[in-house]
Amino acid sequence: MTLTDRRKALLRFIVDDYVTTAQPVGSSSLVERYKLKVSSATIRNEMAALEDAGLITHPHTSAGRVPTDAGYRFYINELMEEEDLAEEVRQTIRHQFHQAARELEEWARLAAAILASRLHNAAVVTTPHSAEPRVRLVELVSVHDYLALLVVVLQEARVLQQTLSLDRPFSQEELNSVGKRLNELMGGKSAVELRETITRLTGLEQATTTAAAGLLEATDELSLEPSYTEGMRDLLRQPEFAGGSSVLGLLEAMEDRNLPRSIAAPMTVGEMSIVIGGEHPVDEMQGCTVITTRYRGPSGLRGVLSVVGPTRMEYPRNVATVRYMATLMEELLGVYFA
């Protein structure tokens, strides 16, 4: 879509004002606030052209205008100048991370909390995990004579568990011995590599390796679990969600089991995905904008950061904050998990 410079400037003003005030923007207020050297009548004509183009609309009988999803999309693609976070803000965030424990889950939880508190929107951050899950260690724990608990710890410290039926009674000492041998065989291996070793094993070792491979295969690399969600209260305080009808659907869409559909992560690390309102395939999310990116460390550990807010959000600030947080997570993974 091609717009004149005046209409581009006008659309930018309308977006900025509506984001700030949450009130429809009128021609007179634009002329006054931005010291425009044209009459209100001229601005009304230009606003009518923007409305005909589908970039703004007027709610009900209001004389003011608000951006449409298409208007926000044009703003992001053509008009938005991405901000850089102030150095003071960067240092504050870094300080918070350096005070935290050097644990992947703690980093994900802290990143979600920082994004939510600084942007006043909901934030979802996944714990860094391997693109191809690999075993760090396995353990067999006796439950009773004919039942053991298989514990598989992945390289990113995620823990998987499954019960195993035993063909005869095993003492804990015997299980420890089997576990020690399997750790030598399974350490660092993927599900495919585990299955390649199964034919060389027998008995409990074979059953344990088969179960471990199945657990790894069931771990979806695109899953948003385990993840941390913060800021839902901030999101629901926004004027767009004052009515109760849309809130229940949004809460259900943000439940853990629905997150993979609600937070569609880009496939490429570093790519920024911005899904606006009606662009979202999930009906309950069509009143929101979802900003998502992936991050990845040099060892292959990777995760997803996402911010969910109303379509009326401060796009430059939200994008800049999400991008900086992803950069910081990659830096931390490079230092401590290279």
In the prediction, which pLDDT does 245 show? Answer: 67
* 108 and 177 inside one domain: no
Please count the structural domains in the chain.
3
Q: 301 and 158: one domain? A: no
Cβ(241)–Cβ(139) below 8 Å: no
Give the integer Cα–Cα distance in Å for 123 and 134: 28
Could you tell me the two tokens for 2?
């091609």
Same domain, 148 and 255: no
The answer on 246 and 111 residing in a single domain is yes
Judge if 108 and 248 occupy the same domain: yes
Cβ atoms of residues 131 and 222 within 8 Å: no
The answer to whether residues 111 and 235 belong to one domain is: yes
Last residue of a domain, one of 183, 217, 251: 217
Do 126 and 236 fall into the same domain? yes
- Which CATH number covers residue 167? 3.30.390.60
In terms of Cα–Cα distance, which of 323, 198, 228 is closest to 273? 323
User: Rounded mean pLDDT of the chain?
Assistant: 90
Does position 180 have pLDDT exceeding 80, yes or no? Answer: yes
Clarify whether residues 100 and 211 are in a common domain.
Answer: no
> Which of 306, 238, 237 is closest to 275 using CA atoms?
306
Label residue 7 by pLDDT band (50, 70, 90). very high
Domain that holds residue 20: 5-79
Q: Using one digit for the tens of pLDDT, what is the confidence trace for 194-246?
A: 999 998 898 999 999 999 998 888 775 446 667 899 999 999 998 888 766 67
What does the alpha-carbon distance between residue 239 and residue 321 come to, in Å, rounded to a whole number? Answer: 23
First-to-last alpha carbon distance for the chain, in angstroms, is 45
Q: Percentage of the chain surpassing pLDDT 70?
A: 96
The per-residue pLDDT for range 272-299, each reduced to its tens digit, is 999 999 999 999 999 999 999 999 888 8
> CA angle, corner 43, sides to 38 and 45, nearest 5?
125
User: What's the pLDDT score for residue 220?
Assistant: 55
Which of 201, 217, 233 is at the close of a domain? 217
Kindly tell me the burial class for residue 140, based on how many C-beta atoms sit within 10 Å of its own C-beta (0-12, 13-18, 19 or more). buried
DSSP 8-state class, residue 130: E
Confidence of residue 8 (pLDDT cuts 50, 70, 90): very high
142 and 204 housed in the same domain? yes
Last residue of a domain, one of 186, 217, 248: 217
- In DSSP notation, 59-115 reads -TT-SSBEE-HHHHHHIIIII-------HHHHHHHHHHHHHS-S-HHHHHHHHHHHH
Q: Does residue 173 sit in the same domain as residue 321?
A: no
Is residue 137 within a helix (H) or strand (E), and if so which, with residue range? Answer: strand 135-144
Q: Does residue 256 sit in the same domain as residue 325? A: yes
The Cα angle at residue 304 between residues 320 and 301, in degrees rounded to 5:
115
Token reading at 203: 């008995």
Q: Are residues 303 and 239 in the same domain?
A: yes
What are the start-end ranges of the H helices in the chain? 5-21, 27-33, 40-52, 69-74, 87-99, 104-119, 172-186, 191-198, 203-217, 232-236, 244-253, 259-262, 315-336
CATH assignment at residue 35: 1.10.10.10
CA-wise closest residue to 149 among 194, 193, 212, 206: 212
